[in-house]
Amino acid sequence: AQSVTQPDIHITVSEGASLELRCNYSYGATPYLFWYVQSPGQGLQLLLKYFSGDTLVQGIKGFEAEFKRSQSSFNLRKPSVHWSDAAEYFCAVVIRGSNYKLTFGKGTLLTVNP
């Protein structure tokens, strides 16, 4: 079945540590790929996106993600986490030519310890 999987429900890191959030997808063709962030009580904000081309994409707030076709993955990374990065992170996909319906994973909640 077609799906977006975020294996980690909750991750805790110390401020200043590096971060990697995992995302895998299961679709026949490579979809458009996105990471959104949701701070408590807020709507979602786009961090970065991948459509084609360079497989390492840069986003806002110092985040980056790497698309790996062989692993059907689009993992989000940040070299040094700040306390303000505590939020919920959602991986999402759009199947090309499907009315551009955005389908989300279940999210990963990030806690940052001081």
Which residues would be at the binding site for another protein (CB under 8 A)?
4, 32, 34, 41-46, 49, 51, 90, 92-94, 99-107
DSSP E strands, the chain: 3-5, 10-14, 19-21, 24-26, 32-38, 44-50, 56-58, 64-68, 73-78, 87-94, 102-104, 108-113
CB of 12 vs another protein, minimal distance in Å: 17
If the CB atoms of residues 36 and 78 are measured against another protein, the closer one turns out to be: 36
If the CB atoms of residues 15 and 49 are measured against another protein, the closer one turns out to be: 49
Return the ∠ at Cα 70 (arms to 65 and 73), rounded to 5°: 35
CB of 45 vs another protein, minimal distance in Å: 7
If the CB atoms of residues 19 and 32 are measured against another protein, the closer one turns out to be: 32
